[in-house]
Amino acid sequence: MSGIERRTFDIVDQLQAASDCDEVYSLLGVALSEFGFTNFLITEMPPPGSGLQASLILNGWSKTWFDRYMDQNFFLHDPMAAHTRSSTQAFFWDEVRCPHPSKEARRVMNEAAECGLRRGFSVPILGSTGEQSCVTMGGAKLDIPHRGREALQLLSIFAHGKAQSLRPPPAPAAAGRYEALTEREREVLLWVARGKTDWEIGEILAISEQTAKAHLRNSLRKLNAVSRAHAVANAISWRAISL
């Protein structure tokens, strides 16, 4: 067994033993960094024409790129997202042929490169009932060894599966089955959605960092969420907050 295979299986074993989404996030981030990836995202693929926010599972994008991608609704024009919908095979971004890309698609890729995502790799994942998810990652300069593609695909599949298994099933939106958020909890979540840290939220709202953390913990409990991104996604999906 080669070194990369041993390392990959070691990470897979650790992913399988992970107890929460934060641990999955950390393990995957460290593993991908060894290939030169600095950003990653695990997400369900929303219906065509829909935004991405409510479908996020784990967000490892930089704050700069995440804010820009969401603010400009780049998902609707992202050529890599479009290719993911039509593919069942993992692919490096430079393998995708776009003979006549739209102005909007060119803008997405150009601005991704500006934010350090010059090259990337995406793994489409199809669920047993036809639902589609994706693990996508990017960086400025990659170092992909022999069998690296296979290692990345295996890591992605196991990280996605573990993160999904740690997510509680969403409550029906129409039923409103979540404990109501306070006004302050909604304010904190809105700033979390904008990528602010607990310290920054405390400064913005003139409260202590510990108080901001407490409000966020309460929100996670009320929204049946296992991470910050999951809480924001559930809050939007269940109309507890609106961006």
In this prediction, residues 113-122 reach a mean pLDDT of 96
Query: Where does the pLDDT of residue 224 fall: very low under 50, low under 70, confident under 90, or very high at 90 and above?
Result: confident
Angle at Cα 91 formed by Cα 85 and Cα 94, nearest 5°? 110
Say how many residues make up the chain: 243
pLDDT value of residue 241: 83
Query: Where does the pLDDT of residue 1 fall: very low under 50, low under 70, confident under 90, or very high at 90 and above?
Result: low
pLDDT value of residue 175: 42
pLDDT value of residue 168: 64
pLDDT tens column, 60-70: 999 899 989 98
Domains of the chain: 3-166 (3.30.450.80), 183-237 (1.10.10.10)
**What's the DSSP call for residue 127?**
-
Spatial separation of the C-alpha atoms in residues 91 and 94, rounded to whole Å:
8
pLDDT above 50: residue 172 = no
Query: Where does the pLDDT of residue 174 fall: very low under 50, low under 70, confident under 90, or very high at 90 and above?
Result: very low
pLDDT cut 70: percent of the chain above it: 92
pLDDT cut 90: percent of the chain above it: 59
Backbone dihedral angles phi then psi of residue 20, each to the nearest 5 degrees: -155, 170
pLDDT value of residue 74: 92
In this prediction, residues 200-210 reach a mean pLDDT of 93
